[in-house]
Amino acid sequence: MHDPRVLLDPATEAVRKLARRGYELDLGQLDKLLTQRTSAIQRIDHARREAKQVANQVQAKARAGEDVVELRERARALKTEIQQTEDQHRQFEADLQDFLLGIPNLPDDRLPDGNSDEFAVEVRTWGDIPTFDFEVADHVDIGERLGIFDFLRATKLAGPRFAILKGPGAQLERAIAAFLLQLHTERHGYIEYSLPALVNRPTMTGTGQLPKFEEDLFKTGVDERELFLIPTAEVPLTNLHAGETLPAEGLPLAYTAHTPCFRSEAGSYGRDTRGLIRLHQFSKVELVRVVDAERSADELEIMLSHAETCLQELGLAYRVVTLPAGDIGFSAQYTYDIEVWLPSQQRYREIASVSDCGMFQARRAGIRTKTKEGKRGFAATLNGSGLPIGRTLVAILEQCQQADGSVRIPGVLVPHLGFSRIKADGTIHGVRGVGVWG
C-alpha cells in the first residue's frame, strides 16, 4: 500500500509509472479522499480544543457561582459534533484505505515496456538444451506410461485441475521437496517453517492478494471465522512479522517453507489444462526475505541466485528473463522469471518467479524497522519460488527421458530416493537395487 502523499507528489511520477502496468491512477479522487480525511481530523482537533476550553470555563464559573447553562449546552453540542465528525473520519479513512488497497506497486523504471511474457527480456541461459534421437513425449504421456500419474481418479475425487501421483512419482515429489529444503537451509541460510495453510483476511491483505484477487482464492469458514487457503507460502511467511517493529541490525531475515498451494485459476481455463502445469492444488518450496529497504535490489540478485542453484544442481536447462512492467505481480516492483526448457513444447516455460516488492507489502502489513539510533522506517520484502514441486517434476520427466522409455533421476535426488532410474516397465533401479512398486 502506498503513502497517498507520495503518490500525489509530482516527483514520484505515479501516474506515468502505473500507466506502464496498465493501471490508470485517478489523482483527483485520491486528492479528494485525502482532503476529506485531513479536514475531518482538523475539525475533530479543533472541536476537542474548544471542548477542553469550555470544560475549564464551566469549572471556573461554577466555582464562582455564575450561570453555566449556556456553556454546558455548548459542551453537549461539541460532544455531539466530535462524535459525528469521528464517524465521518472513520468513513473517510475507510474510503481512502479501500482506494489505496486497489493500487498496485509502482514498477521499477528499469523494467522493459510491455504487458505480457512476449515482451520479457532474456538475461541469461544456463545448461545445454537436451537433444534426443527419438520422438520425445510430454510429461503426461511419460507419467501415465510409467504408471506414476492417475488423473482419472483425481478427477473422480475432486474434479478437474487436480492430480494424483503414486509409487515412484509420489516418492520423487517428496524427494524434490526434501532436496530443495536441505539446499536452502544448509547452503543458503534460510530458516525453515511449518505453516498454516489457512489464513485470515488481514494476512491475505498484507501481501496484496486481497482485496483485488479474491476470486482467485479458495475461501472457507471454521466456527464462523473467514479463512482463505494460501496461494503460496509467501503469504504466511511475509506476515510472520505483521504489525511488528524489527531491529534493523538483525536484517536480512531469510525464511523458507514447503506448503500446499491453492489457486482457483479463475479465467484461465483452456491454458495448460493437461497435466501438472496448472492445478488448483500443488506444492512449492517458497523463499521470503525481509530486508533493509535500501538493499532490496541487491537482495533480489541474491534470491535469484538461490533459485537458479536449484535447477543447476538438478542439471536442468533454463533461462532467466526480466518481466515487462505490465506483466509483473500486483505487489512487485521488479520481477525475474526463471523458465525451464520443456522438450515436448520446444520452448522455455516459467518454473519460478523472484520478486522485489520494496516497502509495498511491509506498509500494508505494518512491518517496520528501527535502528539503534532510533531511526524508524519500513522493511522491504522479497519472495521467490525455490521451486514448485510439480513443475520441477515435469522438467525432470521431460529433460531426463531416455530412448528406452525410462527416466533418469538427477544425481542430487538419488540419496533422497534410493533409486536412480524409473524403468519403462514401472520398476525402479538404483543404489538399493531393483524393486517393484504396486
75-124: per-residue pLDDT in tens? Answer: 999 999 999 999 999 999 999 999 999 999 999 999 999 999 999 999 99
**Structure confidence at residue 435 (pLDDT):** 42
Q: Which of 27-36, 57-66, 148-157, 366-375 has the lowest mean pLDDT?
A: 57-66
**Structure confidence at residue 274 (pLDDT):** 82
pLDDT class for 165, splitting at 50, 70, 90? very high
* Tens-place pLDDT, residues 327-362: 999 999 999 999 999 999 999 999 999 999 999 999
**Structure confidence at residue 268 (pLDDT):** 56
Q: Integer distance in angstroms from the first to the last C-alpha of the chain?
A: 52
What is the arithmetic mean of pLDDT over 131-140? 96
Cell numbers representing residue 184 in the block: 536452502
DSSP string, 272-286: S-STTSS-SEEEEEE
pLDDT class for 272, splitting at 50, 70, 90? low
* Residue closest to 320 by CA, chosen among 302, 306, 308: 308
DSSP string, 16-45: HHHHTTT----HHHHHHHHHHHHHHHHHHH
Task: Specify the DSSP class assigned to residue 184.
Answer: I
Q: How far apart are CA 126 and CA 431, in angstroms?
A: 29
Between residues 20 and 437, which one has the greater pLDDT? 20
Q: Which CA distances in Å does 104 have to 288, 315, 329, 336?
A: 20, 36, 8, 18
Mean per-residue pLDDT over the chain, rounded: 94
pLDDT class for 309, splitting at 50, 70, 90? very high
Give per-residue burial for 76-91: e unless 16+ CB within 10 Å, then b.
Answer: eebeebbeebeebbee
Strand ranges of the sheet holding 198-199, from the earlier edge strand across to the other edge: 198-199, 225-229, 219-222
* Residue closest to 399 by CA, chosen among 339, 353, 350, 340: 340
Radius of gyration of the chain (CA): 28
**Structure confidence at residue 222 (pLDDT):** 75
**Structure confidence at residue 221 (pLDDT):** 78
Residue 437: is its pLDDT beyond 50?
A: no
Residue 167: is its pLDDT beyond 80?
A: yes
Cell numbers representing residue 52 in the block: 477542553
Residue 429: is its pLDDT beyond 90?
A: no
**Structure confidence at residue 270 (pLDDT):** 56
Pairing state of beta strands 368-370 and 245-247? parallel
Pairing state of beta strands 376-378 and 368-370? antiparallel
* Tens-place pLDDT, residues 387-417: 999 999 999 999 999 999 999 999 999 999 9
**Structure confidence at residue 267 (pLDDT):** 55
Domains defined along the chain, listed by start: 4-101 (1.10.287.40), 117-436 (3.30.930.10)
pLDDT class for 33, splitting at 50, 70, 90? very high
Sorted by sequence, the CB contacts under 8 Å of residue 190 that are 6+ apart come out as 184, 254, 255, 256, 287
Q: How far apart are CA 422 and CA 419, in angstroms?
A: 8
Query: Active-site residues: which are they?
Result: 263, 278, 350, 353, 391
Q: Which CA distances in Å does 277 have to 148, 161, 203, 217, 240?
A: 16, 9, 27, 18, 29
Q: How far apart are CA 368 and CA 103, in angstroms?
A: 21
The DSSP bridge partners found for residue 318 are: 126, 340
Residue 423: is its pLDDT beyond 60?
A: yes
Q: Where would I find the beta strands (DSSP E) of 389-432? A: 407-408, 421-422, 427-430
Task: Specify the DSSP class assigned to residue 129.
Answer: P
**Structure confidence at residue 436 (pLDDT):** 39
* Tens-place pLDDT, residues 178-219: 999 999 999 999 999 999 999 999 999 999 999 999 999 999
**Structure confidence at residue 314 (pLDDT):** 98
Residue 166: is its pLDDT beyond 70?
A: yes
* Tens-place pLDDT, residues 244-269: 999 999 999 999 999 999 999 755 55
Cβ pair 7, 14 in contact under 8 A? yes
**Structure confidence at residue 224 (pLDDT):** 81
**Phi/psi at 179 (5° precision):** -60, -45
How many CA atoms, within 13 angstroms, populate the side-chain half-sphere of residue 378?
18
Residue 66: is its pLDDT beyond 70?
A: yes
